Structures are given as C-alpha cells and as structure tokens.
Chain A
Amino acid sequence: MPDEAVRIESLTKVYPGGIRALEDVSLTVRTGEFLVVLGLSGSGKSTLLRCVNRLIDPTAGRIWIFGHEITAAEGSQLRTSRAQIGMIFQQFNLVRRHSVLLNVLSGSLGRAPFFRSLVTRFPEEEAERARACLERVDLGGRGASRADALSGGQQQRVAIARALMQQPSLILADEPVASLDPALRHSVMRHIEALNRDEGMTVICTLHDIDLIQRYATRMVALRDGMLVYEGGPDEFDGETFKEIYGQDAVPTSTLTT
C-alpha cells in the first residue's frame, strides 16, 4: 500500500451559476489517517469529498488515489477506482425498498457479474461476506428487513456495512452522524473508527462536534469559503482554533450541527 492515500493538487470547483465552492485546494492524506474536514456550512466540505470519488467533476486540479490519478480516469477505470472508495452519507442513502442484505450486497456491484446483478442474484460467497459485514455493525439478525424499517442509527450502520462490503482502502464520510440523536453518535462513529484502526482503512470524514473531532481525528483540515485555512493535529486543536475556523461568535458545543 503506497504511503500516500490521497493527493489533491490545486483543486477548484466552480458550480454552474458561478459559485466557487473550492478554490485551489492542495492536500495530502497519508495511508491510515483519520482526517476530519471541518468548516462552516457552505464552506465546500461535501464538494471536496465528492470530488475525491468523482461524484462531482472538478473544474480544475488533479487528484490521485493510491497513486492512480482518478481525475484522468474514465469508464471502467473510474469505476474500479470508485470501488476502492467507500462512501457514507449524512442521509444514509440506502435503497429504502430493498432489504438490508441487498443494500449491503450493492456494495459489491463494482465487481459483481453484470447480468446476474441486474436480477439481484449475487454469488454465494458475496452473500456470505455481506452477512459478515452486517455482523460487524451489530445488525446480524436484520438482513431480511426492509431498509426503511430500521431506525436512523441502524440505517447508518447498514450504510457502513455497504461501504465495508466494497473492501475499500479509503472511506469518505460526509457528516455521518449529523442526522442522528447525539446519544447514538458514538455508536456509529465507533464503527467507522474500527474500520480505520482494525482494517487500516484511510478515513476522510466531515464532522461538526468538537468532542467527536477530538475523540476520533488523527489530523484535521478546515475550509473557509472553499479555501484551505487550517491544518493540524488533534493536540493543537482547542477552543481558540475552533473560533478561528468558525468565526468569533461560535461556541464549541458537542451538539453543534448544520
């Protein structure tokens, strides 16, 4: 595994309509890091994460994932790169009418036999693996339930299992706990942490709560108006840096969300 998980060079994204969401962002993420991206609402965090797996096409700049330039990839090359990158969303983004197991299995679409995948027939070893992934997020018995029958915290764990199913080397998590009750946040974050610590997956995660950041991050960067304004380790991070990033009126609380 190369030492550099992600290298971003001069990344700029201008949305149609002229909104400059990212402005010349350069950043390197080392393998095994748990990088937290912070910044105010609208500062470009989601845009940055979505550029990394090309859900959004950048306007300018280049991105390498484990040495392969994803910004130059097309077609099956791009899909292979994407399959290496698991993504977790604020709104879980499960297929609500599919079963929990099928949702997890869809994490293997990148390598699944094409025609069989269209009729939702997956190889038995994949089904085996999907059940194991569900075990990992403590949802072993729920494979047959419809996804929308689960609670928010459970749905997000299914989403984590789906990402895990990809057997990725990199996880992108965009505010993975922002739609959850504060009491549930650690239970979800613990699973993401486990991927990072036990499986050695690199994690890039956007978070807002200062205690979550201090608890899980190994390094953080901050965006303001699309520009990289801060980079540092968790030890240097305190109330003062927080105010610098979020503005002087901001109060660091554990429940601050957007």
Chain B
Amino acid sequence: MTDPTQNAATPVPGWRRNLTRLQAIGIDIVLWVLALLMTEFLVIAFSGRRGPTGLLVTPEEVLLLLHYGVMAVAAVMLAMAWHLARGILGAPPGGALVYGLPEEEQDVPWSQTFRGWFVALLIQLTLFTGWLITEVQLVTFLTKFSKASDIIRGLLHPSGEILQQGLVLLVQTIFLAFMATAFAIPFAFVLSFLAARNLTRRNRLTRLAYTLVRAGMNFTRAVEPLVWALIFISWVGIGPFAGVLALWVHSVAALVKLYSEQVENIDPGPVEAITATGASAIQVLRYGVVPQVIPPFLSFTIYRWDINVRMSTIIGFVGGGGIGYILKPRVDLGQWGEVGTLVLLIAITVWVMDILSAKIRERIV
C-alpha cells in the first residue's frame, strides 16, 4: 500500500506558488491601506477641518478621491518594498500569515521585529479611530446618570393599568413564536438532509442541492428577523401574522443549520446496515438517519421556540404583533411605569421559557 505522505510530496505547481505569493502581498497591501487611511483620518479629525465622522465625500470633494488612489499606490509600493526587503526588515505580516514564520524569526519577541511594531501600530490606530467614529463620551457617561433615573424609577414602579392588555398580548407573543416554530419544523426537516454533507456527497445532483440549500439558508439567516418583519409587514400588513412569517423564515434557516449539523454527526453504521439490506434512499433516510436525529431535533426545536419568544418582542416594535407593539409607543411617550409593567412581563416569560426549555431538553437527550 502506498504511504499517503508520498502523494503530498508531489511538487507544487508554479502557478500555485505564485498565487500564494500574491495572496501574501495582497494581505499586506490591505493592511497598509488601512494604516494609511486611519492615520489620515486621525490627522483630519485632530486638525479640526472636518467633524470626526466627516469622512463622507461631498460632490465638491470628489476630486479628493484622487488621493485615495495615491494612497492605494503608496500601499502597493510599501507592501512590495517590504516583500523585497524582507531579508532586512523580517517577514511582513501577510507573508507570516500565508507561509508561517521563517525559522529564525520564530522566537523573537514582537517588540524586536518591524512586523511586531507595525501590527501594534495598526491596533493602536484602530482603537483611536474607533473611539472617534463611535463618538465615545466618557465624561457624559459618568456624570449624567440622573437623566435616566426617571426611567429606572418607572421600571421599578410598574403601573397596573396596562397589565390586562399586556397579558393578552403576551399570550399573543407566545403563540406567535409557537406558530413560527411549528411552521418552520417541516421545512427545516426536509431541507436539513439536503444541507448535510455526509448524505449528499455521493451524487452530483444532491451535491448541487447541498450547495444551493447551504447558500440560500446562509443568506436567509444573515438577514435580521427585523428586516424580514419589515418585508412581511408590507406584504401581509401590520399584525401578528407578519411577525409569524418573519420569525418563520428566520427559524427555518437557523434550524436547518442546527439540524444538518446533527445529521452530519450521526453514526454511519446503521446507515450502512440499512443500505446493505437493499433499501432505497428514502428508506435509508427513514430507518438509518431519522431515528438518530429525532432527540436532538426536538431539543433544538424547543430551544428555537424559546429564542422566538424573545425575538417576537423586537418584531412587535416595528408592527409585527405581540407585546412589542404596545411597548414601542409607551417608550416613545416616556410612560415609564407602563413600560416597566411590560418589561417585567417579558422578563418573567423569558425566564420561565428558559427554565422550561432547559428542563425538557434535559429529558430528551
């Protein structure tokens, strides 16, 4: 039998070596561009010529775009120069990342290499720039607490008037989350088998399905439920149904990810055994795969319901039904007593759901 390492020793083709070299230089160019941009930003901010976040380009400043070009060229030249002079300066960060550190530099402390200083400077620049861009105001934070005390007082003195309405909408919230989860189960169940690598790699058609489902679900999951809510509100109108749809879409994507990971972790033994009996693909799925994934599927589904209850509060803020719907106007009007009641209701529900779902999941697994 051939040793697998023999195959690894086959020479790397030239184009591939050039590709990694380009990759290394590419990373360094990006790092230099970042360093130059942030330096410029700091200089501009402290010279007071523009507001701290005034990097946006106005029509008159379009000409200035030229200097981004200049900066890019400078970065390319600096990166190239460093790669050529790496004998003197040491390996640049991109090279270190792509090739690993050369032997003689491995134990040198960062403060003694050019690369170390460069990275340290980048981190410093990022911190300073971040401070300015997010408009951090430490003094205000530490001295102006009294302005918020009204809210805290209101939250601590919940008003009873809104309790009944709150309870009704709380029930709606829980059912909203439940319906979204229930609708999501069959879709996620079917899709999760197509999103599992171990079941799809043997045949070209299923491999294609795998790629499509994965890509589609990743995209769907990347879009916030709040955005889905806005989409469905304009589709079916304000109300809990829009919230159900928004949470449904997001839950399908999230559950497919969780489910398919479980499918990928199953014991391949029973699958082999059922295949060997002459069963068809669907029967193999039914007998070899499904029994193994039912308990974790149930557990994840309950967990998802729990998450959906929390999310539906936020969905309500934009008109997706549930308790968030009456919370939002009271926040806007500063009726902190009533806000306190609602927040308390939500907190208790989330807390109870959390305990319940943990208990049930413990039982199942």
Flag whether A225 is at the interface (Cβ < 8 A). Answer: yes
Given contacts A17-B4, A118-B282, A225-B1, contact A82 B288 (CB under 8 A): no
Binds A, one of B83-91, B229-237, B265-273: B265-273
Do the beta carbons of B278 and A89 come within 8 Å of each other? Answer: no
Given contacts A20-B2, A109-B287, contact A87 B273 (CB under 8 A): yes
Q: Which of B270, B277, B292 contacts A107 (CB 8 A)?
A: B277
Flag whether B206 is at the interface (Cβ < 8 A). Answer: no
Q: Which of A44, A83, A118 contacts B278 (CB 8 A)?
A: A83
Q: Which of B1, B6, B278 contacts A80 (CB 8 A)?
A: B278
Do the beta carbons of A21 and B270 come within 8 Å of each other? Answer: no
Flag whether B283 is at the interface (Cβ < 8 A). Answer: yes
Which residues from chain A contact B2 at a C-beta distance below 8 Å? 18-20
Q: How far apart are A2's CB and chain B's nearest CB, in angstroms?
A: 20
Of the candidates B4, B274, B278, B282, the one having the most CB atoms from chain A within 10 angstroms of its own CB is: B278
Interface readout for B125-167 with A: 1 if CB under 8 Å, 0 if not?
0000000000000000000000000000000000000000000
Do the beta carbons of A93 and B269 come within 8 Å of each other? Answer: yes
Flag whether B291 is at the interface (Cβ < 8 A). Answer: yes
Flag whether A26 is at the interface (Cβ < 8 A). Answer: no
Closest partner residue, chain B, to A78 (CB atom): B278
Residues 1-35 of B contacting A (Cβ, < 8 Å): 1-2, 4, 6-7
Q: How far apart are B7's CB and chain A's nearest CB, in angstroms?
A: 4
Flag whether A218 is at the interface (Cβ < 8 A). Answer: no
Binds B, one of A60-68, A94-102, A189-197, A229-237: A94-102
Do the beta carbons of A106 and B277 come within 8 Å of each other? Answer: yes
Flag whether A32 is at the interface (Cβ < 8 A). Answer: no
Do the beta carbons of B292 and A82 come within 8 Å of each other? Answer: no
Which residues from chain A contact B273 at a C-beta distance below 8 Å? 87, 89, 93-94, 159, 162
Flag whether B279 is at the interface (Cβ < 8 A). Answer: yes
Given contacts A82-B275, A109-B283, A118-B286, contact A18 B7 (CB under 8 A): yes
A120 to B283, CA, bound (A): 10
Which residues from chain A contact B277 at a C-beta distance below 8 Å? 82-83, 86, 106-110, 162, 166
Flag whether A31 is at the interface (Cβ < 8 A). Answer: no
Of the candidates B2, B273, B282, B287, the one having the most CB atoms from chain A within 10 angstroms of its own CB is: B273
Flag whether B211 is at the interface (Cβ < 8 A). Answer: no
Residues 291-307 of B contacting A (Cβ, < 8 Å): 291-292, 294
A108 to B279, CA, bound (A): 8
Q: How far apart are A170's CB and chain B's nearest CB, in angstroms?
A: 11
Flag whether A183 is at the interface (Cβ < 8 A). Answer: no
Do the beta carbons of A93 and B279 come within 8 Å of each other? Answer: no
Which residues from chain B contact A111 at a C-beta distance below 8 Å? 278
A171 to B283, CA, bound (A): 21
Do the beta carbons of A89 and B269 come within 8 Å of each other? Answer: yes
Given contacts A79-B278, A225-B1, contact A118 B288 (CB under 8 A): no
Residues 97-140 of A contacting B (Cβ, < 8 Å): 97-98, 106-112, 114, 117-118
A34 to B163, CA, bound (A): 79
Interface size on A, residues (CB 8 A): 46
Q: Which of A23, A89, A95 contacts B288 (CB 8 A)?
A: A95
Do the beta carbons of A82 and B294 come within 8 Å of each other? Answer: no
Do the beta carbons of A89 and B272 come within 8 Å of each other? Answer: yes
Do the beta carbons of B276 and A53 come within 8 Å of each other? Answer: yes
Closest partner residue, chain A, to B287 (CB atom): A106
Q: Which of B7, B267, B286, B287 contacts A17 (CB 8 A)?
A: B7
Given contacts A95-B291, A109-B279, contact A18 B270 (CB under 8 A): no
Do the beta carbons of B279 and A79 come within 8 Å of each other? Answer: yes
Do the beta carbons of B272 and A166 come within 8 Å of each other? Answer: no
Q: How far apart are A178's CB and chain B's nearest CB, in angstroms?
A: 14
Which residues from chain B contact A85 at a C-beta distance below 8 Å? 276
A23 to B2, CA, bound (A): 11
Interface readout for A38-69 with B: 1 if CB under 8 Å, 0 if not?
00001010000010010100000000000000
Flag whether A91 is at the interface (Cβ < 8 A). Answer: yes
Which residues from chain A contact B274 at a C-beta distance below 8 Å? 95, 106, 109
Flag whether B124 is at the interface (Cβ < 8 A). Answer: no
A76 to B282, CA, bound (A): 13
Which residues from chain B contact A153 at a C-beta distance below 8 Å? none
Which residues from chain A contact B288 at a C-beta distance below 8 Å? 95
Which residues from chain B contact A110 at a C-beta distance below 8 Å? 277-279
Flag whether A176 is at the interface (Cβ < 8 A). Answer: no
Flag whether B280 is at the interface (Cβ < 8 A). Answer: yes
A96 to B267, CA, bound (A): 11
Closest partner residue, chain A, to B6 (CB atom): A18
Which residues from chain A contact B1 at a C-beta distance below 8 Å? 19-21, 23, 42, 44, 225-226
**3 shortest A-B CB distances, which residue pairs?**
A110-B278, A83-B278, A93-B269
Additional A-B contact list (19), CB under 8 Å, known A87-B272, A109-B277, A114-B280: A17-B4, A21-B1, A42-B1, A53-B276, A86-B276, A87-B273, A89-B272, A91-B269, A93-B267, A95-B270, A95-B287, A97-B292, A106-B277, A109-B274, A112-B283, A114-B283, A159-B273, A162-B277, A172-B276
Residues of B in contact with A (beta carbons under 8 Å apart): 1-2, 4, 6-7, 267, 269-270, 272-280, 282-283, 286-288, 291-292, 294
Would you mind naming 28 contact pairs between A and B with Cβ atoms under 8 Å apart?
Answer: A18-B7, A23-B1, A42-B1, A53-B276, A79-B278, A79-B280, A85-B276, A86-B277, A87-B272, A87-B273, A89-B269, A91-B269, A93-B267, A95-B287, A95-B288, A96-B291, A97-B291, A97-B292, A98-B287, A106-B274, A108-B277, A109-B278, A109-B280, A110-B278, A114-B280, A117-B283, A118-B286, A162-B277
